[in-house]
A and B are shown apart, each in its own frame.
Chain A
Amino acid sequence: MPLTRRRTIATLAAGSAALASGRSLARNGPVKVGAVLEFSGGLELFGQQARLGLELAAAEINAAGGILGRPVELLFEDNKTDPKTAVEKASRLIARDEVVAICGPITSSARDAMAPTMARGRTPLLYATNYEGGACDRYLFVFNTVPNQELARLLPYLARTRGSRFYCFGADYVWPQKMFAQAEKLVAGLGGTIVGKELTPFGVKEFAPVVRRIEASGADVLLFALPGADGITFIRQAEDLGLLKKLTVGFLGFSEAYLGAFGPGKGQDMYVAVPFVASAEATGPKEFVARIRARAGQDAVVSHYVMTHWLALTALARALEKVGRIDREAVVEGLEGLTLEAPTGPVTIGAKDHHVTLAMFLAKTQGDRLVTVEALGPIAPESGCG
């Protein structure tokens, strides 16, 4: 078949018509949002918490008529707690599924690995896990806390009520290191002292030597940043070896997912600062917990991860409605400077730093619950982004 001008034009026209109809189909179909999360490989507990929040948000958005009349559809992908898999899943969601944004992941390593892919695909990543700060990009929004938001009020409270000699103990990676760097600044400002600082690799099963050293340091407060199962093992052994009777633990990165893991009557009176307390008496949190449990069962754990992931997707819907258009750039434009109502009060997304100012709560472990000690009000993030 010879290539004539007429044929070429006809083919091009047909092609572009097909393309156009494809586009318009996408315009009337659901608003697709990806979620790349840890559903296996070690951190599935957090992945499941995130999923609860995202699913509730999607159901609520759709019950209220969707985003600009279009329903929202969540596409969940398991990153297997592996950065490389996270990147692969993100690429596919961006290229094949044409999502307007991606929620997740949980780990900083997966987030850092995904960041270049997100920027290249000009697709916003909505990250809703507490982390060390310093992740700054046009296509990255953070919906959970950075170190200063956890520490700014927790440390003065502990110094005032428990004593000003602090011992820092945590896992040997970036989040505890940034946490402790921030803590050192704050403790110096309070006139307190850091009597010891120590990091441990993951997978350690025997903490007796560390417990002895902390005990010998005469610390009043143990600032503790060892997440996950290792943290639980440490607290159990510290309890057995009598350390918890001699000092108070300030548990960094705590969430309700830990409750019950220490054993009945163990791990009591540990202090935390979190953006959400499930046992709170206020109407907002109470209703939020009830909404989650109506879907996920009456004994579902509702940690701040549920709330922050709910917040991320809800903010995305508000942002698109504000801009009045549904595409990836509209998500960025709409989220910058957005204020919305969370179960715990108003949340503001920084127009420049893309991190959130949100209400924080001083709380402690008591019985099998986390109970509020003091509502701290909104705390602005020191995100490390200009």
Chain B
Amino acid sequence: MAADPSWPLLLLDAASHVLTLLLVALGLAVTFGLMGVINLAHGGLVVLGAYTVFAVERAGLGFWAGLLAAPLLVGLVGLVLQILIVRRIQHRPLDTLVATWGVGLAIEQTIVLVFGAASHTVAPPFTTTVAIAGSSYPAYRLFVMAVALAATGFTLWLLLRTRLGLMVRGTVADRRLAAATGLPIRRLDAGTFAYGSGLAGLAGAVTAPLMSIDPQMGTGFLLPAFLAVLVAPFAGPLGTVAGAGLVGGTESFVSAVASPVAAQLVVLAGAVVLLRLAAGRRVGRER
């Protein structure tokens, strides 16, 4: 075998992978991690974001308009989803699981009907490269990383530093007490779910130029994102940041030194062990 690729580049690749994963997991951290809704439609919502960019760009309005429209539109879809379905069965986790999975399938097949089954592409809005460690690194990847950091920062600020965030956390901590003190918990639920969905839309939109856009692309996102939320070493969205780092970092480095197959094995085996060890703690802190 020839010389290994340089470490700065591997670090950059890993950071890119972790931050992309974080962006996808962030929405799930809100809907699943925070609200406890096992939202299997999350992958579908990511796909919807990617297709929004594709459709807006095809309509001649350009990439940036699509990037703006995706979180709004998908957030709206999330709102409708919450009001029509999730709200009614939220207290029955297994039913929620089946229902959101069904919604995911419906989204996927609707996309097949509207856009066809073939893969599509969205060209990156800029194709400049930056010279890093003797290699030319696509600037768009740096942009995706920046968006992931900004979205995470904004979400954390919203949750931890604003009155709205305090109300959301209060509702999560004790619904009955929150309701008794007059918090509009139904509207908070709907808004939180819509926000998490909007994040999924943003994730799909911003990563769209990096990959093939097809109706099934959500599946590849859903599993690692759930893992990132599940293995989060401590509660809350900040835990998800650590979880994404753990899952994405391991995957990227094992993939770099061994192979993608080994990476997936290590991540899944690691998740099983971690969840087994932390099972009691997790259940304890859920509610």
Q: Are B1 and A195 in contact (CB under 8 A)?
A: yes
Q: Which residues of B contact A205 (CB under 8 A)?
A: 20, 207, 210-211, 217, 220-221
Q: Which residues of B contact A217 (CB under 8 A)?
A: 1-2
Q: Which residues of B contact A209 (CB under 8 A)?
A: 10, 13, 252, 255-256, 260
Smallest CB gap from B123: residue in A? A263
Q: Which residues of B contact A213 (CB under 8 A)?
A: 5, 256
B3 part of interface (Cβ distance < 8 Å): yes
Smallest CB gap from B254: residue in A? A209
| In the bound complex, CA of A238 to CA of B210 (Å) | 10
9-residue interface stretch from B28-36, B112-120, B153-161, B187-195: B112-120
Q: Are A257 and B2 in contact (CB under 8 A)?
A: no
CB distance from A385 to the nearest CB of B (A): 30
| In the bound complex, CA of A338 to CA of B107 (Å) | 46
Q: Which residues of A contact B252 (CB under 8 A)?
A: 206, 208-209
- Cβ < 8 Å to B, chain A residues 229-248: 229-233, 236-237, 240-242
Smallest CB gap from A231: residue in B? B212
- Cβ < 8 Å to B, chain A residues 302-347: none
Smallest CB gap from B138: residue in A? A240
| In the bound complex, CA of A40 to CA of B136 (Å) | 40
Q: Which residues of A contact B260 (CB under 8 A)?
A: 198-201, 204, 209-210
| In the bound complex, CA of A301 to CA of B223 (Å) | 33
A92 part of interface (Cβ distance < 8 Å): no
Contact with B along A244-275 (1 / 0, CB 8 A): 00000000000001101111101000000000
Q: Are B261 and A208 in contact (CB under 8 A)?
A: no
Q: Are B112 and A40 in contact (CB under 8 A)?
A: yes
CB distance from A212 to the nearest CB of B (A): 4
Count chain A residues whose beta carbon lies closer than 8 angstroms to a beta carbon of B: 45
Contacts known (A216-B5, A241-B138); A203 close to B220, Cβ less than 8 A: yes
Q: Which residues of A contact B120 (CB under 8 A)?
A: 261
Task: Give the one of B109, B118, B211, B212 with max A CB within 10 A.
Answer: B212
User: Which among A208, A216, A262 is the interface contact of B4 at CB below 8 angstroms?
Assistant: A216
**Pairs across A and B, CB under 8 Å, 12 listed:** A40-B112, A199-B259, A204-B264, A205-B221, A206-B13, A208-B13, A216-B1, A228-B119, A229-B214, A241-B138, A242-B136, A263-B123
Nearest 9 A/B pairs, CB to CB: A232-B212, A203-B220, A212-B5, A209-B256, A208-B13, A200-B260, A44-B117, A233-B211, A261-B119
